[in-house]
Structures are given as structure tokens and as C-alpha cells.
Amino acid sequence: MGRGRAPCCEKIGLKKGSWTPAEDMRLVAYIRRHGHGNWRALPKQAGLLRCGKSCRLRWINYLRPDIKRGNFTMEEEETIIKLHQLLGNKWSKIASRLPGRTDNEIKNMWNTHLKKRLSLDSTSSSSSSSISSNSNSTSSDPRKADSDSSNEDIDVDPLSCPITTDHKVFSCSSSSSSDMTDHQPVQPLSESTNVVDETDMGVPVGLDLDIWDDVFDHDSWLPICDWEGPPPPPPEGGIEATTVGGDHGESERWIAYLERELGLWASWGDQE
């Protein structure tokens, strides 16, 4: 690209802006059923009036079941700072060392919190803080930082893989070049486990999806929270790594969680 390539999608008639819960559910349903082999073709096949890029971004940054949401821990922040020293603005590489965190999330975290914090640190203690000195050089102009020879060749993880914090961790069986945004495409569900129904609004039910660690007991996978009560708390504890094709109970629990997260619970209840 960069060679006069046409836009990734027809701009006309495609929706932009925030995603609605129904769109989210439709996207999740499609990906869990068919995988995402071709992002450009996906929205059409899934019946979404969205650009393929938009679908991909939404999936990676928000809908992927292995996303860890909630505040960054101190360990995570320190990890980001250290990795930024090494890698510069290579957010996807940094994200690959922080299981459950997306490059976008880390980038936002850096721009809104860590950069300020480091600049404050550097001014308050003008002594030789390697972090502040390095971050200054990299954050001012990331492209320069990228071309810096010290950052250039860090393709292989200079640290052990991955840097873990107190949360659930992905297996690191894949090669070092992979990262969180570069997982193998989600595999379609097998027919036997693939029970996807769609309501009139395209909301799937019976998906085989993963579940939050905080929401379900790890051994029994029974819900910890009261499902008849208020919605479950935000998944601050992170989510277990994906195991596509797990048992059906997982599906239902996950979809129940999604329904609540996306605010579809009430509307579904109305429909039934």
C-alpha cells in the first residue's frame, strides 16, 4: 500500500462511529462461527455496514474474549515504561508482552498517563533517570525512535516471554514474532458445537465463547455472581485464554456476560 491504493472499503453507506451492542453481537457471532479469514469480506458476510478495518479494530480492541479490561496495575505500568525504553512506540510489541492488553490501550495509557508521569519525574529529579531520558527521546518523535539503532533490531524478545503480572497469562507457545493482536485467526466452531441462532436484530445466542475468570469459579465454572441480580462486575481480573470449542456451559455463560456487558439483557428479555 501507499501506492495509491484505493480505500479499504466503499465509504458510501458504511457506518462510522461508535459500535452498537447489536453490531457487537453480530460481529462476535460471525467470528465465533466462521473465524475472520478475510476482514474485508467479513462485514458483508456478517451483515454489518462497517469497513473491514473497523470490524478488525473492534474485535481486537474490544470484543476479543481474551481482552483484559480495567485499570493497569503498577507492574503493568512499569512494564510498559521499561519496554518503551527498549522498543519505542512499538505498541503492538509492547502489547505482546502484556497479556490481555491491546496496543491501542497501551498507547492511550502511555499518552495520557505515563508520558506525563515520566516528564514530571524527570523534572523533579533531574538526576540520571534512564527512563526519563530515554522516554524523552522516543516519545518526542516515535519515527526517529524507531530508526534508532538501539531499537532497530529488537525483534526477538529481549526479555523473557511474556512479562507477566498478577493476572492470567496466555500461553507463550507461539513464536516471538506473534503478539496479542496477531493471534492465529479465530477458528470457526465445529458444527457440533456451533449453535448460533440469530434473532431478528441479528443477536446471536448459544455461542461457544470464553468466560471471565472473575465471574466464574475457576474449578466448577459456576457463576460466582448472582445472575438474577445486577450485572456482573467489570472483568478486572482478566479472562482465561481462549479455548475454542469448549463446553456449552461456557458458551452460555459467556453470552450471558456479553448480553449484560452490551446492555442487551433487557431487550432480549423483552423479545422472549
In degrees and rounded to multiples of 5, residue 198 shows phi and psi of -130, 135
One of 126, 143, 226, 270 touching DNA (CB under 7 A): 143
Which of the stretches 26-34, 105-113, 123-131, 206-214 binds DNA when contact is defined by CB under 7 A?
105-113
| Beta bridge partners of residue 204, listed in sequence order | 198
Q: How far is CA 27 from the centre of its chain?
A: 14
Does 147 sit near DNA (CB under 7 A)?
A: no
Q: Residue 140 Cβ, how far from DNA at the closest point, in Å? A: 10
Residue ranges in 188-247 that form contacts with DNA under rule CB under 7 A: none
DSSP 223: B
**Which listed residue (16, 128, 173, 229) binds DNA by CB under 7 A?**
16
List beta partners, residue 239.
212
Do residues 83 and 131 make contact, with C-beta atoms less than 8 angstroms apart? Answer: no
93 binds DNA (CB under 7 A): yes
Of residues 56, 64, 84, 253, which one binds DNA by CB under 7 A? Answer: 56
Residues whose CB falls within 8 Å of the CB of residue 161, separated by 6 or more in sequence, listed in order = 97, 172, 176
Positions 111 through 140 that interact with DNA (CB under 7 A): 111-113
Q: With binding defined as CB under 7 A, does residue 53 bind DNA?
A: yes
64-103 CB burial, b ≥16 within 10 A, e <16: bbbbbbeebeeebbebbbbbbbbbbbbbbbbbbbbbbbbb
- For DNA, which stretch binds (CB under 7 A), given 51-59, 156-164, 214-222, 240-248? 51-59
Work out which of 54, 85, 132, 251 binds DNA, going by CB under 7 A: 54
HSE, CB side, 13 Å, CA atoms: give it for residue 177.
2
Binding site for DNA (CB under 7 A): 1-3, 5-8, 15-19, 36-40, 50-54, 56-58, 61-62, 89-93, 103-105, 107-109, 111-113, 142-143, 179, 181-182
